[in-house]
Chains A and B, each alone.
Chain A
Amino acid sequence: MQTTYLKNVSTLTLNVDKCIGCGMCVVVCPHNVFALQEKKATVLDLDRCMECGACQTNCVAEAIYVKKGVGCAAGIILGVVKGTEPTCGCSGGGCC
C-alpha cells in the first residue's frame, strides 16, 4: 500500500546542478521519493515526501533543501500554544 498525503505541499527542492550523483538520498528516503537517473538525483513523486529531512542531512553536496518537521497536529497545536515552532510533544516515545 502506497500512502500519499495532500498534494503539492512538500517544501522539498533539489538543486540538480549541485548534485554529484552519490545516491545517498535514494538510500535514506523512507518514502522512495528519489531515483538516480544518468548520475543525477531526480524527484519521482513529491507528494510522497513527509519532510523528515533525512535526504538533506545526508546529502554531502548540499543539493537538497527541505523544511524539516513532524506532521503532527498535536505538535502544531502545542507550538501555537507555547508560541514556538511545531514540536513533537512526546516525552515517552509511544507517539510519533
Chain B
Amino acid sequence: MSIIKTSSTLSLSDRLGSIKVRWGIGRTIYMKEPGLYALGEPDENSPVIVTANYKLTFDIVRSKLVGFNLYILVLDTKGVNVWCAAGKGTFGTDELITRLKATHLSEVVAHRTLILPQLGAVGVAAHEIKKQTGFKVVFGPVRAEDLSTFLINEMNATPEMRQVRFPLRDRFVLIPVELVGFVLPTLLLALFLTGLSIFHHNGLYFDAHEAKIILRNTVLAYVGGVAITPICLPWIPFRSFSAKGALVGIVLVMLISAIMTPWLLIMTAISSFIAMNFTGSSTYTSLSGVQKEMRLAVPLQLAALVMGIVWFMALRLIG
C-alpha cells in the first residue's frame, strides 16, 4: 500500500466543495480515499494523526497543520464526519485495526502512538487497539484548529481543548443545512393554507392579499425555527428546544400584531417543530432528553397546528 502525498494548501475546488456541502447542494457524498497520507516530509519518527474520510474533515485537518511533517491515517467512514461516524461505529475499533494492517503503518513508523480526535473515543476503544495492535491511542483535541498547539505541547490537550462547546460560529454554519431541509415542507404548508383560504362564507374566490399574508407568516415562522432559535439558543429561556422555538414563534406573532388570530397557534407550532429538529445539530443534547422533550412537544405542536387551521377556517366560513 502506497503513501499518498498531501499538503496544507486548499485549492479553489476544495473551498467550493466545502461551501456546497454546507448548503447541501448535490447529494454526492464528499469522500476522500482511505489510506495513509504524508503531509510535508515525514520520517519514521513523525506523528500519526487519524481522521475520517469525510473530505471536509480531512481538508480542515491538513489546512490547520501548516509546516508540520506528519502522517494522516484516513479511515473509511463512508464519507461521514468523525462525530457521526463514531456514533455509527464506522469510525471504530475494527476499522482502525483494519486500516493499520492495510497501510502497514507499523513498518512505516518506528514509534507506536496514534493521535485520534477526541470525539473518536465514542467508537474507538483505546485499550482494545493497544491489545490487538500494540499501538497506543492518544485522544487529541476536539477541534482541528487546536491540533498544532497540541503537537507543539508534546501531545498535551488542555481541558479547554477537550470540551465540546457550541459557539455562535458553529451554530451559524449549521443553519444552511436546516434552511434547505425545511424550505419545501414550509412552502407546502403555505400552499395548503392558501388552498384553504379560497373558501369564504359568501363563496369561493382567491384573495391575493391574503395569500401574501399566508406566505409571509409561514416563512417568518420558518425563519424563527430555522435561524433565530439556533442563533439565539443560549439566550432564550427554557432548556427544551421546542419550548425555545415556541417562544420565538410567539414573539414573532406579537411583532406582526397577530396575537388574537389563528397565526398564534400555527406560527408557534411551525417554529417549535423546526427548532426541535436543531437538537440533531447541537452538540449537547442526549437521546433520552430529546425523547422526553418530544413526548410532550410533538402532540402539542400537532394540536396547535390543527386547532390553528380549524380556527383559520372557522373565521372565514362564519364570516
- Do A and B interact? yes
Q: Which A residues lie within 8 Å of B288 (CB)?
A: 9-11, 51, 67, 69, 71
Residue of B177, B277, B285 most packed against chain A (CB within 10 A):
B285
A6 touches B159 (CB 8 A): no
Q: How far is the CA of A57 from the CA of B288 in the complex (A)?
A: 19
**Is residue B198 within 8 Å, beta carbon to beta carbon, of the partner chain?**
no
Interface residues on A, range: 35 or more
Is A74 within 8 A of B277, CB to CB?
Answer: yes
B101 interfacial contact with A, CB 8 Å = no
A4 touching B139 by the CB < 8 A rule? no
Which of B4-12, B212-220, B289-297 has 4 or more CB atoms under 8 Å from chain A?
Answer: B289-297
User: B29 interface residue, CB < 8 Å from A?
Assistant: yes
Q: Within A1-47, which residues are at the interface with B (CB < 8 Å)?
A: 1, 3-7, 9-11, 24, 27-32
**What DSSP secondary structure best describes chain A's contact surface?**
loop
Main secondary structure of the interface of B (DSSP, over half): helix
Is there contact, CB below 8 Å, between B292 and A3?
Answer: no
Chain A residues lying within 8 Å of B193, measured Cβ to Cβ, are none
Q: Given A6-B292, A73-B280, A94-B24, A86 and B287 touching (CB < 8 A)?
A: yes
> Closest CB of chain B to A81's CB: distance in Å?
13
Q: Contact partner of B84 among A7, A31, A74, A88, CB < 8 A?
A: A88
From B43-51, B115-123, B307-315, give the one contacting chain A: B115-123
Question: Which residues of B (264-278) have their CB < 8 Å from a CB of A?
Answer: 276-277
Q: Is the CB of B290 within 8 A of A88?
A: no
Question: Per-residue CB proximity of A36-74 to B under 8 Å, as 1/0?
Answer: 000000000000111111100110100000011111111
B77 (CB) vs chain A CBs: closest residue: A93
Min CB distance B170 to A, Å, is 11
Interface residues of A (CB under 8 A from B): 1, 3-7, 9-11, 24, 27-32, 48-54, 57-58, 60, 67-76, 86, 88, 90-96
